[in-house]
């Protein structure tokens, strides 16, 4: 079965954190301990949204060594495809759900002498787990966390109280911005930079760091992409011998699954590379939306990431 | 003299590239022997950025194991800082001191022999700086720094294979198996099964 082993869980607690964010706590249905994980890991939450199967990745924010349960925080996205709305509207304590084992595509490099974290909005979640992990082992860190307003700065109180002097908060509505050039120029050698937040912020941080000579190996980012919508398109699956149509709000991966094809996946957000598929015939244009394929692979037209990428044109035949 | 060409070997054996100018706030160069030529080639490649690169360049240099000393050529560059150490062991404490004060934005360029590059790489690596982002270009002598896997002693400037360990005296076969942590190739006893049956040494590294 694709996606790795699954965990049968029950929702133990739902907490409204602020106007947009809700926190969910999962415990094992059989009362056993859940697998330990490492800071930065995510889980894929399976949802049966009134007949539509949704699988969305969410970063685990609880202490990685707390195996009594996992916590995620979900920001409601009214314009999204519906996963966050389903969680906000229909998931209540006591409900049984299925989630994936933790997968870490955003792990801490423990060789770092210092960890510099930059978070935007809901991008704070992986850092909560990483800070718990670093605090336990005495790791040196510094967090710069930007939110739209004080009211939307989830967990800022908790973080600043627990780590005075290490947590710096910024509010867009108050015209505050991270002084990135200054911040990046002051970091001792051996610092690793982690950024999680909106795409614009990630590009700004990584672009500035590269211009200032930060080595690629010290730059880490995580961004889960929603598959995004688009025009419907037909795909021939060469190995399965099927032709399927991908709906406007459906991903190619979801369309394959709906057709009973067991395609590989892990993150479902264009980041992990697990679903990479060879393209056999492409008469048209692949709309690459992942950040896994190299620019050369994307341009070649020989590969596609079905979890997020789409197609426009006459014929697409893939090796699945 | 240009970049050294090595025959294909096992994955563990380090491979070297050509130094390329990169964006950075400080350009730290560690070189020995003929590595000085890779530094002048690097600066030639920088084009218009040459002056700015030299103004932010710190060079640490020592003569090569074959006696090649091109210090005059490096001194003449008038980099922001340049230091000549008589030997690699006297260069390394200086490098440690430079790294202790360094900030991210530093670019690291290593060039010359494998012994120099490996030991400098180790100093940079322990700071937490990602080793894959350390640039290295081989120039000059191919003599090896070899660790005896039996007594753990390191013999510098090994030219022949097999060779006799300078610590325990065993006859060692020089492998391509390399340790970044030790900055050394591995030497394994060649006559363990039949003591005394030692093939005549061949000069493999010059």
For residue A67, what are the contacts with CB-CB under 8 A and spacing of at least 6?
Answer: A33, A34, A35, A36
Chain B: residue nearest A114 by CA? Answer: B128
Average model confidence (pLDDT) across chain A: 94
Mutation pick from B110, B130, B131, B132 vs chain A, by most beta carbons of A within 10 Å, is B130
Q: What is the mean pLDDT of residues A156-165?
A: 96
* Alpha-carbon gap, residue B68 to A149, rounded angstroms: 63
Task: Write out pLDDT tens, residues A15-33.
Answer: 999 999 999 999 999 999 9
Chain B: residue nearest A218 by CA? Answer: B130
Tell how far CA A243 is from the center of its chain. Answer: 30
Task: State yes or no: pLDDT of A269 exceeds 70.
Answer: yes
Same domain, B190 and B128: no
Name the domain boundary from B138, B154, B173. B138
pLDDT reported for residue A49:
87
Structure pTM? Answer: 0.89
Name the domain boundary from B93, B120, B138. B138
Cβ atoms of A146 and A168 closer than 8 Å: no
Partners of B128 on chain A (C-beta within 8 Å) are 109, 111-114, 189-192
Confidence bin at A310 (pLDDT 50/70/90): very high
Task: Write out pLDDT tens, residues B16-39.
Answer: 999 999 999 999 999 999 999 999
Q: Which of residues 123-152 of B touch A (CB under 8 A)?
A: 127-133
* Inside any domain, residue B158: yes
Closest-CA distance of chain B to residue A87, Å: 40
Task: Write out pLDDT tens, residues A176-212.
Answer: 999 999 999 999 999 999 999 999 999 999 999 999 9
Same domain, B165 and B194: yes
| Cα torsion A262, A266, A268, A271: sign | negative
Query: How big is the A-B interface in CB pairs under 8 Å?
Result: 65
* Inside any domain, residue B7: no
Task: Write out pLDDT tens, residues B42-91.
Answer: 999 999 999 999 999 999 999 999 999 999 999 999 999 999 999 999 99
pLDDT reported for residue A271:
86
Name the domain boundary from B138, B164, B188. B138
Higher-scoring residue by pLDDT: B24, A223: B24
Determine, for residues A192 and B128 on separate chains, whether the beta-carbon distance falls below 8 Å. yes
Q: What are the structural domains, with CATH classification, of chain A?
A: 6-104 (2.40.30.10), 114-222 (3.40.50.80), 233-318 (3.10.20.30)
H or E element: which one contains A273?
none
* Inside any domain, residue B3: no
| ipTM value | 0.91
Task: State yes or no: pLDDT of A224 exceeds 80.
Answer: no
pLDDT reported for residue A81:
82
How far CA A254 is from CA of A55, A79, A223, A277, A320, in Å, comes to 9, 19, 20, 14, 13
* Cross-strand partners of A242: A237
Domain with B195, as residue range(s), is: 144-203
Partners of A113 on chain B (C-beta within 8 Å) are 127-128
Same domain, B112 and B150: no
Q: What is the mean pLDDT of residues A302-307?
A: 94
Confidence bin at A1 (pLDDT 50/70/90): low
* Inside any domain, residue B115: yes
Closest-CA distance of chain A to residue B136, Å: 14
Same domain, B119 and B178: no
Task: Write out pLDDT tens, residues A51-97.
Answer: 888 889 999 999 999 999 999 999 999 988 889 999 999 999 999 99
Give the number of domains in chain B.
2
CATH of the domain at B125: 3.40.50.80
Percentages of chain A per state (helix, strand, coil), in multiples of 5:
20, 35, 45
Q: Which of residues 100-119 of B touch A (CB under 8 A)?
A: 102-107
Partners of B127 on chain A (C-beta within 8 Å) are 113, 189-190
* Inside any domain, residue B16: no
Q: What is the DSSP string of B95-118?
A: HHHHHHT-BTTEEEEEEE-HHHHH
* Inside any domain, residue B17: no
H or E element: which one contains A181?
helix A180-185
Task: State yes or no: pLDDT of B41 exceeds 60.
Answer: yes
Task: Write out pLDDT tens, residues B100-140.
Answer: 999 999 999 999 999 999 999 999 999 999 999 999 999 99
């Amino acid at each position: 079965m694709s996606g790795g082993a699954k965990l049968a869980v029950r929702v133990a607690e739902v907490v409204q954190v602020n106007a947009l964010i809700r926190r969910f706590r999962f415990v094992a249905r059989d009362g056993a301990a859940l697998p330990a994980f490492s800071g930065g890991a995510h889980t894929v939450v399976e949802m049966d949204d009134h007949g539509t199967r949704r699988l969305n990745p969410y970063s685990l924010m609880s202490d990685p060594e707390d195996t009594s349960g996992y916590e995620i925080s979900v920001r409601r996205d009214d314009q999204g495809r519906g996963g966050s709305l389903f969680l906000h509207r229909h998931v209540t304590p006591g409900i049984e759900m299925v989630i994936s084992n933790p997968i870490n595509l955003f792990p801490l490099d423990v060789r770092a002498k210092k960890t510099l974290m930059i978070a935007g909005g809901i991008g704070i979640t992986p850092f909560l787990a990483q800070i718990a992990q670093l605090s336990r082992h005495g790791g040196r860190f510094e967090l710069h966390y930007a939110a739209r307003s004080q009211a939307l700065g989830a967990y800022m109180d908790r973080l600043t109280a627990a780590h005075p002097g290490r947590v710096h908060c910024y509010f867009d509505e108050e015209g505050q911005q991270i002084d990135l050039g200054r911040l990046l120029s002051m970091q001792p050698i051996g610092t690793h930079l982690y950024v999680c937040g909106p795409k614009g912020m990630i590009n700004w941080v990584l672009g500035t760091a590269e211009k200032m000579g930060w080595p690629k190996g010290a730059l880490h980012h995580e961004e889960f992409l929603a598959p995004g919508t688009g025009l419907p398109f037909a795909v021939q699956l060469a190995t399965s011998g099927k032709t399927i149509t991908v709906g406007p709000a459906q991903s190619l991966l979801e369309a394959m699954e709906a057709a009973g094809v067991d395609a590989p996946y892990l993150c479902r957000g264009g980041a992990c590379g697990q679903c990479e598929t060879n393209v056999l015939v492409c008469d048209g244009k692949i709309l690459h939306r992942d950040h896994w394929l190299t620019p050369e692979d994307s341009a070649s037209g020989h590969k596609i990431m079905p979890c997020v990428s789409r197609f426009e044109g006459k014929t697409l035949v893939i090796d699945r | 003299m240009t970049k050294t060409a090595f025959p294909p070997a096992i994955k563990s054996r380090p491979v070297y590239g050509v130094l390329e100018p990169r964006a950075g706030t400080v350009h730290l160069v560690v070189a020995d022997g003929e590595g000085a030529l890779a530094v002048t080639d690097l600066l030639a490649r920088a084009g218009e950025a040459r002056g700015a690169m030299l103004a932010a360049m710190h060079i640490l240099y020592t003569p090569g194991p074959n006696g090649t000393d091109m210090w005059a050529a490096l001194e003449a560059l008038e980099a922001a800082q340049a230091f000549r150490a008589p030997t690699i062991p006297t260069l390394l404490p200086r490098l440690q001191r430079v790294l202790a004060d360094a900030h991210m934005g530093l670019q690291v360029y290593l060039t010359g022999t494998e012994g120099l590059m490996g030991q400098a790489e180790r100093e940079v690596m322990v700071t937490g700086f990602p080793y894959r982002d350390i640039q290295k270009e081989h120039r000059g002598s191919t003599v090896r720094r070899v660790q005896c896997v039996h007594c753990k002693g390191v013999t510098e400037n090994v030219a022949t294979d097999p060779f006799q360990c300078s610590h325990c005296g065993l006859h060692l076969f020089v492998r391509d198996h390399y340790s970044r942590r030790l900055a050394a190739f591995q030497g394994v006893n060649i006559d363990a099964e039949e003591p005394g049956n030692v093939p005549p040494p061949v000069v493999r590294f010059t």
